[in-house]
């Protein structure tokens, strides 16, 4: 009774006051500790029970395994040895608890091995393994296991659907989400708020606004958690204005926002640059003393930064009493897009003086402005702080270092960083190509571009812009023009204004003025000053040097 009521002290009193405690009493006190998250205490009691000569039963093992979920550092080898010695490794309840423990700890290999060893699989076990695959990002495995479960004749419940839906994070899974939606309706689970919220989130991740909105409209009731998720989905879909409109509707339905809700709506305001509404929320938060919540403060900093209100960024940051590394990084990041190099360096130094250690995101942001100062010395100091080992070989950090060295004119250092990176994505390849282009290394630009394609990494529009710019500077007219049409025809990329500027410049140099004019008229945006200058320069060459 005391255990169920949550009174650990009373449960202990009853336990220690009893005469001749049996396995039931031992299990009860272990369960009480487990429910309070006191894993080490539960394990000590379990060991004391064994020393007392009490043989644990299946319920006792389930309790101790559940207790271990809250403490990943506890080894379960001893417990599993006891389970095996007592012949309980075929007990479905014990094995389910053991599987759940492996799932909680993310032990994929152990969970799979245990799953295949079991003579029968309950719905709970199926759900646990699907959930593990989802949380580890193994979408295909989660989906495949769901269909195997159906073939085995197991009827999915709301937990099954939630676990499976959580595996989907890209548009290629949209057809499966729609099929699961049909199955949910057929199973008459459309009134389950948690399930529908998960379904709505899945549609949002797959960029399907229609599915997300229809799912939301089907909900009979919506609490603050549902509303907060809905705002996050709308923001992810780029529908920030809609999020602000629905925010008013939430109040009309009598639901009060919490800090997560405010954070999501502020992100929507940032997306659409809705400064006035963001300021209203800011005033509301300040009046309720909610500006010590780090995600909220970060969202406000991002809003004011995007709207170029750096004075408000300063005011908010200065008011916060406890500033952790996340907030310091947000304050630095807020100034990166405005190229406030000196202020960023001052903030970085102040952060160090206050004893806050930077994280990798902090370093990336500071590195991003080193070239604007320019400050190669600072960049090298940051590189030293990051280290030459695993940290600098990470994709984001390595890319930031390449950009910094390249823009500061130290292309050799940039290349060294690139060579040490274990994993190279499109951004890192583009960064090293841009570094070579920025420093007039046309041969290296083309060589690295070929290596990028050989590595199976597809270029984007920025990659092509770097190469075409290099062609402009080096006079490689035919190659530059070929790259322009290649990015459209071979890679399906839409050229931007800067690409048109480059190719018009190249065509002008080649004397192909008519084609250059046709491209000028075909530009999706109004021609830039650079484009007109290139055309006029081409005409000038024809007039002055008609033989060309």
| Per-residue three-class SS string for 294-337 | HHHHHHHHHHHHHCCCHHHHHHHHHHCCCCCHHHHHHHHHHHHC
Sign of the alpha-carbon torsion through 275, 271, 203, 142: negative
Mean pLDDT, residues 5-25 taken together = 57
| pLDDT of 321 over the 50 cut | yes
Helix axes 360-370, 395-407, angle to 10 degrees: 20
Q: 43-70 pLDDT, tens per residue?
A: 888 888 888 888 888 888 888 888 888 7
Indicate the DSSP class of residue 222: -
Contact 527, 520 (CB under 8 A): yes
Q: Can the peptide bond before residue 399 be classed as cis, meaning omega within 30 degrees of 0?
A: no
| pLDDT of 456 over the 80 cut | yes
Please give the structure tokens belonging to residue 246.
């629905």
Give the residue ranges of DSSP H helices in 36-107: 39-51, 58-68, 77-85, 92-105
Mean pLDDT, residues 469-493 taken together = 88
| pLDDT of 266 over the 80 cut | yes
Q: Residue 460: exposed, middle, or buried by beta-carbon count in 10 A (0-12, 13-18, 19+)?
A: middle
Both ends of the chain: CA-CA distance in Å?
99
Which pLDDT score is estimated for 73? Answer: 77
Which pLDDT score is estimated for 184? Answer: 95
Q: How far apart are CA 375 and CA 389, in angstroms?
A: 23
Contact 479, 473 (CB under 8 A): no
Q: Residue 492: exposed, middle, or buried by beta-carbon count in 10 A (0-12, 13-18, 19+)?
A: exposed
Contact 257, 265 (CB under 8 A): yes
Asked which of 273-287, 360-374, 528-542 is least confident by mean pLDDT, the reply is 528-542
Mean pLDDT of the chain: 85
Give the three-state DSSP class for 27.
helix
| pLDDT of 495 over the 90 cut | no
Which pLDDT score is estimated for 505? Answer: 80
Q: 381-424 pLDDT, tens per residue?
A: 888 888 754 555 578 889 999 999 998 889 999 999 999 888 89
Which pLDDT score is estimated for 38? Answer: 82
Confidence of residue 228 (pLDDT cuts 50, 70, 90): very high
Please give the structure tokens belonging to residue 84.
């095996």
Which pLDDT score is estimated for 11? Answer: 54
Structure-token match 């969202």, residue found:
299
Mean pLDDT, residues 226-251 taken together = 94
Which pLDDT score is estimated for 248? Answer: 92
List the chain domain ranges: 358-458, 460-548
Mean pLDDT, residues 512-536 taken together = 74
Give the three-state DSSP class for 471.
helix
Contact 370, 377 (CB under 8 A): no
Confidence of residue 19 (pLDDT cuts 50, 70, 90): very low
Nearest Cα neighbor of 293 from 320, 312, 266 is: 320
Q: pLDDT > 70: what percent of the chain?
A: 92
| pLDDT of 234 over the 90 cut | yes
Q: 138-187 pLDDT, tens per residue?
A: 999 999 999 999 999 999 999 999 999 999 988 889 999 999 999 999 99
**437 to each of 385, 396, 426, 447, how far by Cα in Å?**
28, 21, 16, 12
Which pLDDT score is estimated for 548? Answer: 44
Indicate the DSSP class of residue 281: H
Q: pLDDT > 90: what percent of the chain?
A: 41
Contact 100, 128 (CB under 8 A): yes
Which pTM does this prediction carry? 0.72
Mean pLDDT, residues 455-459 taken together = 92
| pLDDT of 5 over the 50 cut | no
Q: 330-380 pLDDT, tens per residue?
A: 999 888 877 777 888 889 989 989 999 888 888 888 888 887 776 778 888
Which pLDDT score is estimated for 3? Answer: 45
- Cα angle value 264/270/271 (rounded, 5°): 90
Mean pLDDT, residues 197-210 taken together = 95
Which pLDDT score is estimated for 186? Answer: 92
Structure-token match 């190509």, residue found:
433
Structure-token match 């012949």, residue found:
87
Sign of the alpha-carbon torsion through 394, 396, 399, 405: negative
């Amino acid at each position: 009774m005391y255990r169920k009521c949550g009174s650990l002290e009373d449960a202990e009193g009853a336990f220690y006051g009893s005469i001749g405690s049996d396995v039931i009493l031992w299990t009860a006190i272990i369960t009480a500790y487990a429910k309070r998250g006191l894993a080490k205490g539960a394990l000590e009691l379990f060991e004391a029970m064994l020393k007392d000569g009490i043989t644990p039963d299946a319920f006792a093992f389930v309790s101790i395994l559940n207790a271990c979920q809250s403490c990943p550092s506890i080894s379960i080898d001893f417990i599993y040895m006891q389970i095996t010695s007592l012949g309980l490794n075929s007990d479905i309840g014990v094995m389910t608890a053991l599987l759940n423990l492996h799932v909680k700890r993310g032990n994929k290999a152990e969970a799979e091995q245990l799953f295949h060893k079991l003579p029968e699989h309950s719905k709970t076990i199926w759900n646990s393994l699907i959930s593990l695959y989802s949380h580890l990002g193994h979408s295909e495995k989660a989906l495949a296991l769901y269909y195997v479960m159906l073939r085995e004749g197991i009827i999915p419940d709301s937990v099954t659907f939630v676990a499976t839906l959580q595996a989907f994070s890209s548009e290629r899974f949209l057809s499966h989400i729609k099929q699961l939606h049909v199955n949910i309706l057929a199973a008459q689970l459309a009134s389950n708020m948690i399930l529908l919220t998960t379904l709505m989130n899945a549609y949002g991740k797959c960029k399907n606004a229609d599915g997300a909105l229809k799912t939301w409209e089907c909900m009979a009731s919506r609490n603050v958690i549902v509303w907060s998720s809905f705002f996050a989905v709308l923001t992810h879909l780029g529908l920030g204005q809609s999020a602000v409109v629905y925010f008013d509707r939430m109040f009309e339905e009598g639901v009060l926002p919490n800090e997560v809700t405010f954070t999501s709506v502020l992100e929507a305001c940032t997306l659409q640059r809705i400064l006035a509404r963001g300021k209203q929320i800011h005033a509301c938060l300040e009046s309720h003393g909610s500006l010590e919540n780090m995600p909220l403060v970060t969202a406000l900093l991002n809003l004011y930064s995007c709207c170029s209100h750096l004075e408000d960024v300063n005011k908010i940051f200065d008011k916060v009493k406890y500033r952790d590394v996340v907030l310091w990084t947000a304050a630095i990041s807020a100034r990166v897009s405005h190229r406030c190099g000196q202020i960023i360096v001052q903030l970085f130094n102040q952060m160090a003086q206050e004893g806050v250690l930077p994280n990798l995101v902090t370093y990336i942001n500071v590195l991003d402005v080193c070239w604007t100062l320019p400050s190669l010395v600072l960049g090298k100091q940051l590189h030293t702080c990051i280290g030459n080992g695993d940290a600098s070989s990470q994709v984001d950090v390595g890319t930031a270092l390449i950009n910094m060295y390249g823009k500061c004119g130290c292309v050799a250092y940039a290349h060294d960083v690139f060579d040490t990176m274990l994993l190279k994505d499109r951004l890192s390849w583009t960064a090293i190509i841009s570094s070579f282009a920025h420093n007039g290394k046309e041969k290296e630009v083309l060589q690295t571009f070929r290596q990028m394609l050989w590595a199976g990494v597809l270029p984007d529009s920025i990659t092509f812009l770097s190469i075409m710019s290099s062609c402009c500077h080096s006079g490689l007219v035919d190659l530059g023009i070929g790259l322009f049409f290649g990015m459209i025809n071979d890679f399906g990329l839409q050229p931007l204004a800067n690409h048109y500027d480059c190719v018009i410049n190249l065509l002008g140099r080649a004397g192909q003025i008519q084609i250059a004019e046709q491209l000028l008229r075909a530009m999706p945006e109004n021609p830039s000053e650079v484009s007109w200058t290139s055309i006029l320069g081409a005409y000038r060459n024809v007039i002055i040097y008609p033989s060309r």
